[in-house]
Amino acid sequence: MTWPLIDLRTTPHGGRSLFAFQPIAQGTKIFACEVPFAHVIYKDYRREVCAQCFAYAASTSRSIGDSRTWSIRSCRATAETVWFCTDECKVTWESGAIGPLIADVNALLGKAKIATRRNSARDGYDPILPNGPTAQITQDYIDKAWTDVEDLASSRTRLSAYCLTMNLEDMELEISRSVASAIVQRYVFDHRLASPVVSSIISALDPWTEALDLQSSELSNVSVRPYILAAHLRVYAFLCHSLPKHLRLYVPTARHILARDTGNAFGIWDGDSRDEMLGWGLWAGASYFNHSCCPNVKKTRVGRAMHFTTSRSVEIDEELCISYIDTDQTITQRRRDLEDSWFFKCRCQRCQSEELGEASPH
């Protein structure tokens, strides 16, 4: 699938962004990404979210009586039971290679998590992190930590000993599942078990290359939240330890995925009201849309796909932007949200004019 209305260009600030190749009318679908290349549905929601289309039982009339869970289960002999909203979703999921493989891997990871003990020290000592003061977080510090964990993972004996005493948090298991879902898709793609869904803007790129092309936020992220580094290292060690050999080969790319997921993941919500976040996903290509507090593009999740539609008419060569945050907030709140999670100070047109307005005397 090609998308003739949009064009990926390098911006003056060095990043990449999408621009209108020609004037576009309001309400035009300009881009869609059919499947997330990585995703996870939180453990607490797994019985309530359709494994195929991510429909949420509690928010649809199809739920039965008081039951907030789906009743249609997979017949495929996967190690983890999954649920569907309709027979149609079940048939689609069962006929694909990826879904059942992900379910198997999820079961494996769930068992491996139980095998890890919760007796490892909560006193902050973790053999996986570099010793010494951590006040100064630099790229060298992060690189050293990754070299150390890769070294640990090179010995199965040491890795097992570590993993059996590690304290893998519930959220770290969710992160592991998300990374594993990307690894499974790469494996399937490499072995041509399924044809890749080409939703690329640059059609020569496969989804994996696109994923690794996303902007890394590793250093900014770890500087603000040092605990994230420890979490990512544990996820890495856990995946090296738990995944079967043919998938383990891909774990070295986990660092790239983890470095990119913070700024590029979209929440999987129950609906437009956004009452419940059911999990998150990474849709490659989708991340080329930059942020604006007065966006001209609206993103809508349609089942597993992410659709992008113009929310007003767009001029030729105009930058195409979505909003990453709640735009009803004040400029101060918006900037705080964006700096906290995306590490940039918004200078969109709206922010610039509001800044001028605030600075000027009445």
Distance CA 269, CA 263 (A): 17
Minimum CB distance to Zn ion smaller for 99 or for 207: 99
* Helix, strand, or coil (residue 253): helix
User: Can you name the residues that pair with 40 across neighbouring β-strands?
Assistant: 280
Strands 290-291 and 321-322 come out as parallel
Smallest distance from the beta carbon of 234 to Zn ion, in angstroms? 33
Query: Any contact of residue 152 with Zn ion (CB under 5 A)?
Result: no
Residue that has been written with the tokens 């080409």 in this structure: 198
Alpha carbons 201 and 288: distance in angstroms, whole number: 10
Among 5, 30, 40, 50, binds Zn ion (CB under 5 A): 50
Grouping H, G, I as helix, E, B as strand and the rest as coil, residue 277 is: strand
CB of 32 to Zn ion, least distance (A): 18
Pick from 6, 89, 201, 259 the residue near Zn ion by CB under 5 A: 89
Residue choice 52, 63, 106, 290 for contact with Zn ion (CB under 5 A): 52
Stretch that binds Zn ion, among 103-111, 147-155, 174-182, 290-298 (CB under 5 A): 290-298
Name the residue type at position 137.
Answer: I
Nearest alpha carbon to residue 208 among 191, 194, 187, 236: 187
CB of 156 to Zn ion, least distance (A): 40
Is 184 among the residues that bind Zn ion (CB under 5 A)?
A: no
Pick the piece of the chain touching Zn ion (CB under 5 A) from 37-45, 79-87, 238-246, 317-325. Answer: 79-87
Radius of gyration of the chain (CA): 22
Note whether 51 binds Zn ion by CB under 5 A: no
- Name which position in 6, 33, 53, 214 contacts Zn ion (CB under 5 A): 53
Cα–Cα distance measured from residue 187 to residue 247, given in angstroms and rounded to the nearest whole number: 7
Distance CA 265, CA 197 (A): 19
CB 146 within 8 A of CB 234: no
- Minimum distance between the CB of residue 50 and Zn ion, rounded to whole angstroms? 3
* Subset of residues 153 to 182 that bind Zn ion, contact rule: CB under 5 A: none
Rule CB under 5 A: is residue 142 a binding residue for Zn ion?
Answer: no
- Choose one: 4-12, 307-315, 319-327, 341-349; the region binding Zn ion (CB under 5 A): 341-349
* Site for Zn ion, rule CB under 5 A: 50, 52-53, 55, 85, 89, 293, 346, 348, 351
